[in-house]
Amino acid sequence: MAETHERPPEPFTLRLRRYDPESGEAPYWDEHTVELEPHRSVLEAILQARDRFDGSIGVRCSCRQAICGSCGIRVNGEPALACHTHLDAAKRGARAGVIEIEPMGNMPVIKDLIVDMDSVHWKKIRRVTPWLLAKQPVPEREYIVPRESMVDVTQTMACIQCGACVSDCLAMEVDPGFIGPAALAKAYRFVGDPRDDQQFERLNDLAQDQQGIFDCTHCFKCVEACPKGVNPMGQIMRLRRVATADHHIVDKNNGERHEKAFASLIRENGLLWEAELLPRSYGGNSWFGKFAPPAGKELLSSLPAIVKALMRGKVTPMGALKPHKIPAADLRSVRALYDKIEGRKERYELNLYIAGEDEAPSQPAAGAAAQQAPSSGEASAPAQAEPEVGASL
């Protein structure tokens, strides 16, 4: 970035999505060319366009240093903080050199680049009870908790509520009631907090809700969208893990059954057996599970696809009835790994957001690194994997 400071102002063309629902007019595109140094932000360009060419451009901003979360927009189709996106970078990612600016998605537009965060984002945040439900009796002074137990939730605490992840959530696109990445990351902030008294209740609530933790499609959009590295999808996976592994919550959305069926099929065969995964996900892991009413109902509703697949020879009856397996000796090894790792008292989990990378690229001999003594990484961030908080409670 340092070298760009020296560069003189140059022209940047913005293509702005304009829309005023109160006007009765359809949305349209507006183009303005501003002159700014390349290291300046997209926000500065929008503000200059507003000051010089059209005072009616609607944009929301406050701190201008990527901490208040007010200026979430879409730049060239990707979510971004306007104040945190350099003009030269935006231009590099633009079609024909024109930077495309739109309001965030999944939320109604109030005017131009301003979306209604209240009706979507903040409602969803309130949905997860975003405050501490403290253990009683409340101590007279502060809570004393081990430092390590709070490190775990710092990643979710980095959220600035900009709504970028909500804007891009693909599950919400087809299912607007999905609680969504920002709110569920916030939920983990309290689920992972050792001072909170309602871990089970919170998780049970979010697991039983059809638009809760099991409605996430695992598309990584929120991971990519977040300007603060919160990794909302990762937090949703942790919520699922604590709900299923620690609390054994069996939800009516098949979330727990699906995870269990998947993990056990790999343990049994080494490879996935799709024809068995479905009935187990609906009816549970026992052999009789496939005769459970939900499994039968699912089979019936899927008949059109199944019949076609059989007719076309895509799936043969033998292929469906017999699993693929890895060789017996390897299967034994895989099962031994399952037994060893699942048998641990505490899950061993590495969060790179907290642990960081222990090997700087300048360090010598990457190949030999595997043989290094355990203390080798101490100069950088703590290299120890934090045991999951949920497990230690």
Partner 1 sequence: MKVAYWPGCVSRGFTPELHGSMARVAPLLDIELVELDRACCTGAGVIAEHNQELADTLNARTFALAQAVEGAEMMMNICSTCQGAQSECQERLDANSEYRAHVNASLAGEGLSYEKGLTNKNFLWLLVEEIGLDELRAKVKRPLTNLKVGPFYGCYIVRPRARLGIDEEHPRDNYLDLVIDALGGEVIEYAGMRKCCGFPIITMNKQASLKQAGRHLGDALDADADCLVTPCPLCHLNLDLQQPLAEGVVGRELGMPVLHLPQLVGLALGLEPKELGLNRHVVRPTSVIDWSTSVIAAASGA
190 contacts 203 by C-beta, under 8 angstroms = no
Task: Provide, for the chain, the percentages of residues in helix, strand and coil under a 3-state DSSP scheme, each rounded to the nearest 5.
Answer: 50, 10, 40
Residue 258 as a binder of partner 1 (CB under 8 A): the answer is yes
Q: How near is the Cβ of 33 to partner 1 at its closest, in Å?
A: 24
Nearer to partner 1 by Cβ, of 68 and 338: the residue is 338
Least Cα distance to 74 among 143, 27, 14 occurs for: 14
- 3 state SS for 86-109: EHHHHHHCCECCEEEEECCCCCCE
Nearer to partner 1 by Cβ, of 70 and 283: the residue is 283
Q: Which of residues 23-52 bind partner 1 (CB under 8 A)?
A: none
Q: How near is the Cβ of 98 to partner 1 at its closest, in Å?
A: 17
Nearer to partner 1 by Cβ, of 134 and 383: the residue is 383
Q: How near is the Cβ of 261 to partner 1 at its closest, in Å?
A: 9
Alpha carbon separation from 44 to 50, 61, 110, 150, 186 (Å, rounded): 10, 10, 21, 37, 30
Q: How near is the Cβ of 140 to partner 1 at its closest, in Å?
A: 39
Residue 199 as a binder of partner 1 (CB under 8 A): the answer is no
Least Cα distance to 238 among 271, 282, 274, 202 occurs for: 202
Q: Which of residues 222-241 bind partner 1 (CB under 8 A)?
A: 223-224, 237, 240-241
Nearer to partner 1 by Cβ, of 132 and 245: the residue is 245
Q: How near is the Cβ of 214 to partner 1 at its closest, in Å?
A: 4
Q: How far is 52 from 277, CA to CA, in rounded Å?
A: 61
Fill in the DSSP letter of residue 376: G
The piece of 51-59, 108-116, 181-189, 362-370 that touches partner 1 (CB under 8 A) is 362-370
Q: How near is the Cβ of 358 to partner 1 at its closest, in Å?
A: 5
Q: How near is the Cβ of 16 to partner 1 at its closest, in Å?
A: 21
Residue choice 63, 341, 379, 393 for contact with partner 1 (CB under 8 A): 341
Question: Could you give the string, one character per residue 206-225, with x where binding to partner 1 holds by CB under 8 A and - elsewhere?
Answer: ----xx--xxxxxxxx-xx-
For tokens 């100069």, what's the residue?
379
Residue 337 as a binder of partner 1 (CB under 8 A): the answer is yes
Residue 263 as a binder of partner 1 (CB under 8 A): the answer is yes
Q: How near is the Cβ of 294 to partner 1 at its closest, in Å?
A: 10
Residue 379 as a binder of partner 1 (CB under 8 A): the answer is no
Residue choice 68, 245, 292, 299 for contact with partner 1 (CB under 8 A): 245
Residue choice 37, 116, 175, 246 for contact with partner 1 (CB under 8 A): 175
Q: How far is 365 from 153, CA to CA, in rounded Å?
A: 34
Nearer to partner 1 by Cβ, of 112 and 251: the residue is 251
Residue 358 as a binder of partner 1 (CB under 8 A): the answer is yes
As given in the structure block, the two tokens for residue 115 are 């979306």
Q: Which of residues 83-112 bind partner 1 (CB under 8 A)?
A: 92
Q: How far is 312 from 303, CA to CA, in rounded Å?
A: 14
Alpha carbon separation from 358 to 265, 282, 349 (Å, rounded): 35, 43, 16
Nearer to partner 1 by Cβ, of 150 and 381: the residue is 381
204 contacts 243 by C-beta, under 8 angstroms = yes
CA atoms within a 13 Å half-sphere pointing along the CA-CB vector of 344: 14
Residue choice 58, 309, 354, 392 for contact with partner 1 (CB under 8 A): 309
How many of the other CB atoms lie within 10 Å of CB of 1?
7
Residue choice 118, 287, 357, 379 for contact with partner 1 (CB under 8 A): 357
Least Cα distance to 32 among 50, 44, 58, 9 occurs for: 50
Q: Is 65 helix (H, G, I), strand (E, B) or coil?
A: coil
Q: How near is the Cβ of 71 to partner 1 at its closest, in Å?
A: 22
Question: Could you give the string, one character per residue 286-305, with x where binding to partner 1 holds by CB under 8 A and - elsewhere?
Answer: ------------x--xx-xx
115 phi and psi, to 5 degrees? -110, 160
Residue 355 as a binder of partner 1 (CB under 8 A): the answer is yes
Q: Which of residues 310-329 bind partner 1 (CB under 8 A)?
A: 312-315, 319, 324, 326-327
Distance of CA 260 to the CA centre of its chain: 22
Strand order in the sheet with 78-81: 28-36, 10-18, 98-102, 72-75, 78-81
